[in-house]
Amino acid sequence: MKWQPKLPITSVYTLLEADICSLCGACVAACYWGALYFNPQQPSQLARENKLCVNCSRCVIVCPQATLWARKDLYHEDVKVLDAFHARSKNKDVLSRAQDGGVTTTLAMSALEKGLVDAVVLAGTEDKWVPKPVLAFRAEDVLGCSKSKYFYVPSLVELGRLDNVNKIMVVGLPCQIRAVERLAELDVGISRKVAYKVGLFCAHNVDYSSMIEKLAPKAGVNVNRLVKIDIKRRLIFYDKEGKSYELPLSEFESLTRPSCLQCPEFVSRGADINVGFRGASEGWNMVLVMSKLGERLFNEVMDGFEVKKPSSEDLSRVYDMDRKKREKAGNYFMEFYGAGLGDRFLDYATWRVICR
């Protein structure tokens, strides 16, 4: 069904109501007036104070979902990498807690320990896996954020509290990396402190309510004993005793929101390094080096990893996944908006806002 919003679109409120928001958190960080905020008691949405909103449009200007409307290139261009590796952390403590090869955790810990950055923006959780944006200053803080969540965590809200920080690393999903890029395009002050961007492979996520309040109980796992969530052809929950609880992947996919269905990036084009399990063997990660900055970063921290080169078949698995996501997202885009990729649909006033 074609989306029919009230025009013009001057804030993300319209996107929040249409589930086009992926809770990246950039709008919260960009709002000077506190009109948008994240309330952990309502973890599946962003909260708002309409009376504080001055209708400046900063929130929708930085929104990575709104900017997709003008990014035809992301739906058509193949992934381009400088180098690729299979990697696994040498840190036994990391491997005992991490999702696969522990690359993202070790990379962030090493960057802090070597003084390459002052802090790292990460997705963490609190009791009952409630989303918790984290600005990590110590290796122990990073370790506490290991493991994939597969639900939205608005970690970019932490960009709003960088007063005493000069260099940060942002670890995020493709939508979050796009938001950081947008902040840099607009020369928003907080973007100047981003030293490195580390992207995570992402097919799509769901909101907290869908994952923890619907899917976990349906699988039969006690959320208070949940220690790990994984997707390996099926959605798998693990409890403290090591017992697994599975659901067909279709159960997870059926709860995907428009924000993810329209997104063409499995691999973030704007990241310096991308990390994921696709294309890697059990217990390892695939690492894609995307920029010269990413190359220098990986060389600086490589002593913390076992490293080997992936085969062309391994890389093809990643590229094929990215291509399929682009194709599906392009089809959904045209169905949802009733317009072709890159077309100037909606109204002139809205386009003026998002194309600043």
Assess whether 19 and 136 both reside in one domain.
no
Look up tokens 């060389």; give the residue: 299
The single-letter code of the amino acid at 37 is Y
Average pLDDT of the segment spanning 198-227: 96
**CATH assignment at residue 338:** 3.30.70
Question: What is the pLDDT at residue 185?
Answer: 86
Assess whether 115 and 56 both reside in one domain.
no
Structural domain includes residue 59:
yes
Question: What is the pLDDT at residue 164?
Answer: 82
Helix axes 292-301, 103-113, angle to 10 degrees: 80
Assess whether 26 and 139 both reside in one domain.
no
Structural domain includes residue 1:
no
Structural domain includes residue 4:
no
Assess whether 145 and 86 both reside in one domain.
yes
Report in angstroms the alpha-carbon separations of 122 from 24, 131, 154. Answer: 11, 11, 9
With 0-12 / 13-18 / 19 or more C-beta atoms within 10 angstroms meaning exposed / middle / buried, residue 22 is buried
Question: What is the pLDDT at residue 1?
Answer: 60
Q: pLDDT tens for residues 122-137? A: 999 999 999 999 999 9
Assess whether 23 and 159 both reside in one domain.
no
Helix or strand holding residue 308 (H, E): strand 305-308
Q: pLDDT tens for residues 43-64? A: 999 999 999 999 899 999 999 9
Question: What is the pLDDT at residue 188?
Answer: 75
Assess whether 69 and 81 both reside in one domain.
no
The single-letter code of the amino acid at 151 is F
Assess whether 277 and 349 both reside in one domain.
no
Q: pLDDT tens for residues 180-192? A: 999 888 877 778 8
Look up tokens 């506490």; give the residue: 144
Structural domain includes residue 3:
no
Structural domain includes residue 5:
no
Structural domain includes residue 127:
yes
Beta 194-200 vs 168-172: how paired, if at all?
A: parallel
Candidates 62, 121, 122, 21; CA nearest to 353 is: 62
Q: How far is residue 168's CA from residue 119's CA, in Å, rounded to a whole number?
A: 5
Question: What is the pLDDT at residue 91?
Answer: 96
Question: What is the pLDDT at residue 244?
Answer: 96
Assess whether 127 and 275 both reside in one domain.
yes
| Strands of the 226-231 sheet, one edge to the other | 226-231, 234-239, 244-248
With 0-12 / 13-18 / 19 or more C-beta atoms within 10 angstroms meaning exposed / middle / buried, residue 33 is exposed
| Structural domains in the chain (count) | 2
Candidates 294, 310, 311, 313; CA nearest to 302 is: 294
Q: pLDDT tens for residues 59-117? A: 999 999 998 998 999 999 999 999 999 999 999 999 998 889 999 999 999 999 999 99
Q: 350 lies in which domain range?
A: 13-74+332-354
Assess whether 185 and 222 both reside in one domain.
yes
Assess whether 96 and 86 both reside in one domain.
yes
pLDDT at residue 356 is higher than 80 = no
Structural domain includes residue 257:
yes
Q: Count Cβ neighbours within 10 Å for each residue of 42-68 and write b for 16 or more, e otherwise.
A: ebbbbebeeeebeeebbbbbbbbbbbb
Read off the DSSP letter of residue 29.
H
Structural domain includes residue 6:
no
Assess whether 270 and 293 both reside in one domain.
yes
Assess whether 123 and 108 both reside in one domain.
yes
pLDDT at residue 121 is higher than 90 = yes
